[in-house]
Structure 1
Amino acid sequence: MSEISVEIVDSKLAEEAASLVETLVADRVASRITAQDPTLWGPDAESEAAIRLSWVTLHESSRSLLAEIDALRADLHADGVDRVVLAGMGGSSLAPEVITATAGVPLVVLDTTDAAQVADALAGDLSRTVLVVSSKSGGTVETDSHRRIFEQAFAAEGIDAKSRIVVVTDPGSPLQKLAEDAGYRKVFLADPHVGGRYSALTAFGLVPAGLAGADVAALLDEAAAAAALLSQDDGANPGLRLGAALGVRHSEGAEKVVFADNGSGIKGFPDWVEQLIAESTGKHGTGLLPVATEGVDAPGFADAGDDATATAIGSPTGSALVSTSGSLGGLVLLWEYATAVAGRLLGIDPFDQPDVEAAKKAARALLDQPPGSGDETKPSLVDGPVEVYGDFAGGSLTEVLRSFVDAVPEFGYIAVQAYLDRLDDASASLLRAELARRTGVQTTFGWGPRFLHSTGQYHKGGHQNGAFLQITGAVEDDLDVPDRPYTLGVLQHAQALGDGQVLAEHSRPVLRLHLTDRAAGLAHLVKAVQEVHRP
């Protein structure tokens, strides 16, 4: 499936969106986006938009990367190196993960501070491994930690670390200088005029995916085919129609966009589009909250209420109001255009992220404190393998969870945030569907700290009606971060506490559950959730 399409299944929504598209066409919004007109989002957004619109030409400008990627991959294979590990967060990891999963090629993605998950990546065959260190700012703490840990591990195996590290970053970043001074194997410089969440077709998306074996040239071809359609000031433009539908629904109170895959053949697309929409629109007390579900029959999608727009990726389905289909490259560009259009309709700057740094600053402050200071002295309740932290009434875990759910406002949402190992603790993801089913509340799920680089902006800047369930776990075998005064476990804990602190400062309900035994704790928690009901 190559041609992109948008089908607005609901006839009333289709009629309302068509009327709004007429205005967008009259204002030449599509062609002005393509021409990189920074005035589309108002004077307050103009300075940021002026340096963030090069994503519209990436299907052309990124082609020069293809030969470099192919040559490096051939050189690595000649050296017996064919295992690619990617250290990156947010826009540096989400797109490569979707691209490689869809292509069916292996890529080890490290977007975590969980010691066990990092140890699992280290346990692979290092003699065959190249580490791609990917950071737009060049100072991402998680990615820097991964680089330090792998550099030490390569050296311990007698491997020349600098020959096994490839860097993707923006020109002039601290990481560029570090990489060049250290003599790392290759430095790819990305287009600095593209924001992280719009960077799927830059070096951030193409380099790790291409080294892993995905056909990234085809991806650019798909985007090029879509670009011709998306730039047209025409009522049939799918980017305008999709953006208009989202804008209309938001004006009617549908502040959530609920996603399900329906036979698209694209693996994990909702996880990528989640960051794009949340960071682009979730600010100044407004925005669209993306909710990735398990399928068209999943709780929250099949029964989406008036506060949500059920959106299928792939074939239309009866429970969806909107469906989008096409190739991966085409869908990437479609959703980027539609999100920019929605930003105009919502009256916000879709290219800044004013609240992303808050949790990072809080985590850094906690890391700078002496061990033990700033943390809770003891839990408010211990129920088996689960310690409870938070001001919620109840003499059992089930009762506490009921109190927590009662704190969710009408038309609000629950965000489950699991600071765990997304491989070994994968059962935590079951909590999203269980909570949505038992409570009838729209529920998101994110692995921490991965979600901080994705939906974290919306949590602080979007509609202030979320309730936040943090899950942390005991660390059995921690990992030191070389030349840093903390371990991964300490960093992970600080990130959870720091984000919780910022959310509490926004007067949002925050409940942290600490699993003293991860496997037993998750089983105990799932059982408790199954006993929770919201009237």
Structure 2
Amino acid sequence: MPAHHGVDVALTVPSTDELDEALNGVVADRVASRIAAQDPTLWGPDAESEASIRLSWTQLAESSRPLVAEIEALRAELHDQGIDHVVLCGMGGSSLAPEVICHTAGVDLTVLDSSQPDMVRSALADRLDRTVVVVSSKSGGTVETDSQRRAYEQAFTEAGIDPVQRIVVVTDPGSPLDEQASEAGYRVFRADPHVGGRYSALTAFGLVPSGLAGADIGELLDSAEQAQAALFADDVDNPALRLGVLLGVANRHGVDKLVLADRSGHGIGDWIEQLVAESTGKQGRGILPVVVPDEDAPNFVPSTTDSIITVIGQSQVGVIERTARLAGNLAHATLAATLGDNPPVDDSAVPTALSGYAAVVDGPLGAQMLLWEVAVAVAGRLIGIDPFDQPDVESAKKAARELLDGAGDVPTPDFSEDGIDVYGAGSSLADALDRLLDQIDVERGYLAVQVYLDRIAHADFAEVRETLAEQLTRPVTFGWGPRFLHSTGQFHKGGTPTGVFLQITGTPHDDLAISGRDFTFGSFIDSQAAGDAAVLRDHGRPVLRLHLTDVEAGLARIRELLA
């Protein structure tokens, strides 16, 4: 990262004419300054009600400032007591931003964003005597987070530790969690209720766990504040407008995948993934992020004609000449915009995409978060959707609740082979996989691999994304369940209807009871997977579920079949 406080954006487009026309249009309509002024009419009358209570994120660089001293004081108090291990219990926007902030700062944060019993048990066993738990839920009713809180309350009590001294709550004022935690005597941080979860990086949801873990949250706010004026300027050189217009214009041409290669290595791709997918994926439209490990990964090289390829974390000031040299077989133009002090010139080029659309985005984390937030709001306006609602996220939650309550139909496997229960058509395991993959549209389709397992213990299984992407030559996403239900889950059901879904579940080594609940962590995650699969099928999406009775052996078998 360059040592400056701005954001650099360089874009490649097939032709500048359409982008310039759209860019001049959003400048003439004062879209950037109206976003800053929290104008809810920007996305049409149907979106106005939701937008009117979702735009306070535009001023968080200032409004969140008082939190810094409060959080730092609490961290010092905890350290004086020997409490230096921070666990975050939260889902979606409550966990992805702190995870990125702490990775970027190089500080330790344990993120428990799963209902998988083995993963929950591992977290409970890790340094409990030195642990403070941040329980984060905007609604105050997130079942995963409530279950994790119950597990930690029980673990602390059994260890002779008062949970009131070790649990910190972040929620919206007046939520069920706020009321319950306040009554119990927990320390409660109340976030701005007029900020949606995926836009909450610079609220208490992002700052409390990150600051307690040791990240410099003051610097994070500084970088956002220093970029703020330019990102809200009605100017064709505004990098957020350029990026947002690129996303919107490309989408008009059926370019609805955003392949993200993260050079920073800090995981910002996962945060961008939620922001883009959940904000845009609705009404049969939207942008599907495809997060890849690097620029050599399949789906980035080679890309597909329906993909924008994007690099995060490489300064691109002065790249125009080299981009032109690399263009060769592609008639395109490059547009660069820089905020703040000029960093050193970098000889790297904007990558070449088969679609003609590509971008490079660079800058300090706080500034870059604000950049993407503005850009996605702009893109939503051009695509014609409400970027602040998430209508299809609730449908999967409802289906899971029905299964837990005994109201839904519990699925039964069609057959079993090699210790794997198969839910889907096919005469064998190999045949079932072939039938699923054959349903991918070769021009517009994508495959989503959804794995409801311990994402820490089985982290290396994510490499299967590259294997499949190389074989299929189509975009392939990989999501850990139930984590992805709060990010790409919205796009899967509400976005472009071109997805095919491979769902992998497994029998845990040991199930885990949830205090005060009549279901276990194991039954909960099974219901989440089955509920989401049912909703996907109701939307006409092809789904194959493979349930591994022996997880290690089952994963090895799947790797073998997909090799």
TM-score (norm 2): 0.91
In the alignment, is the contact (CA less than 8 A) between 1:223 and 1:333 conserved in 2?
yes
Q: Name whichever of 426-435 and 26-35 sits farther off.
A: 426-435
Q: Does 1:196 align with 2:193?
A: no
How many Å apart are 1:15 and its aligned residue? Answer: 4.5
The corresponding residue for 1:7 is: 10
The corresponding residue for 2:391 is: 354
Pairwise mapping of residues 352-501 of structure 1 onto structure 2 (< 5 A)?
A: 352-369=389-406, 374-377=409-412, 379-391=413-425, 393-395=426-428, 397-410=429-442, 411-501=444-534
For the residue of structure 1 that corresponds to 2:289, the secondary structure is strand
In the alignment, is the contact (CA less than 8 A) between 1:301 and 1:319 conserved in 2?
no
Amino acid at match of 1:460: K
How many Å apart are 1:432 and its aligned residue? Answer: 1.2
Pairwise mapping of residues 178-327 of structure 1 onto structure 2 (< 5 A)?
A: 178-184=180-186, 186-262=187-263, 265=264, 267-315=266-314, 316-319=349-352, 321-327=358-364
Residue deviations 1:70-97, cap 9 Å, x none?
1110111111111000000000000000
Which of the pair has the greater relative contact order for Cα pairs under 8 Å at 6+ separation?
A: 2
CA distance in 2, matches of 1:8, 1:288: 17
The corresponding residue for 1:114 is: 116
**In structure 2, which of residues 30, 47, 67 is the aligned counterpart of residue 28 of structure 1?**
30
For the residue of structure 1 that corresponds to 2:290, the secondary structure is strand
In the alignment, is the contact (CA less than 8 A) between 1:296 and 1:319 conserved in 2?
no
CA distance in 2, matches of 1:325, 1:424: 32
**In structure 1, which of residues 144, 160, 163 is the aligned counterpart of residue 162 of structure 2?**
160
For the residue of structure 1 that corresponds to 2:145, the secondary structure is helix
The corresponding residue for 1:91 is: 93
For the residue of structure 1 that corresponds to 2:535, the secondary structure is helix
CA-atom RMSD in angstroms? 1.2
**In structure 2, which of residues 538, 541, 548 is the aligned counterpart of residue 505 of structure 1?**
538
How many Å apart are 1:317 and its aligned residue? Answer: 4.4
Q: Which runs of 5+ in 2 are unaligned?
A: 315-348
**In structure 2, which of residues 372, 376, 388 is the aligned counterpart of residue 335 of structure 1?**
372
Residue deviations 1:42-70, cap 9 Å, x none?
11111111111000000000001001101
Q: Which runs of 5+ in 1 are unaligned?
A: 531-535
Residue deviations 1:125-164, cap 9 Å, x none?
2111001000000000000000000000001000011110
Amino acid at match of 2:419: P
CA distance in 1, matches of 2:12, 2:45: 35
Q: Does 1:144 align with 2:178?
A: no
Q: Name whichever of 67-76 and 309-318 sits farther off.
A: 309-318
How many Å apart are 1:13 and its aligned residue? Answer: 4.6
Q: Using the aligned pairs only, state the percent identity.
A: 58
In the alignment, is the contact (CA less than 8 A) between 1:427 and 1:522 conserved in 2?
no
How many Å apart are 1:492 and its aligned residue? Answer: 0.5
- CA gap 1:363/1:13 in 2 versus in 1, 3 angstroms: farther
CA distance in 2, matches of 1:434, 1:382: 24
CA distance in 1, matches of 2:271, 2:114: 16
TM-score (norm 1): 0.96
How many Å apart are 1:117 and its aligned residue? Answer: 0.8
How many Å apart are 1:387 and its aligned residue? Answer: 2.0
CA distance in 2, matches of 1:134, 1:30: 30
Amino acid at match of 1:288: I
CA distance in 2, matches of 1:408, 1:365: 30
How many Å apart are 1:381 and its aligned residue? Answer: 3.2
Amino acid at match of 2:507: A
In the alignment, is the contact (CA less than 8 A) between 1:36 and 1:54 conserved in 2?
yes
In the alignment, is the contact (CA less than 8 A) between 2:351 and 2:359 conserved in 1?
no
How many Å apart are 1:225 and its aligned residue? Answer: 1.2
The corresponding residue for 1:49 is: 51
For the residue of structure 1 that corresponds to 2:455, the secondary structure is coil
CA distance in 2, matches of 1:384, 1:68: 55
Amino acid at match of 2:439: A
In the alignment, is the contact (CA less than 8 A) between 2:309 and 2:351 conserved in 1?
no
CA distance in 2, matches of 1:331, 1:319: 22
Residue deviations 1:355-408, cap 9 Å, x none?
1100000000000118xx83233x3233313221112x243x222211101112
- CA gap 1:332/1:447 in 2 versus in 1, 3 angstroms: same
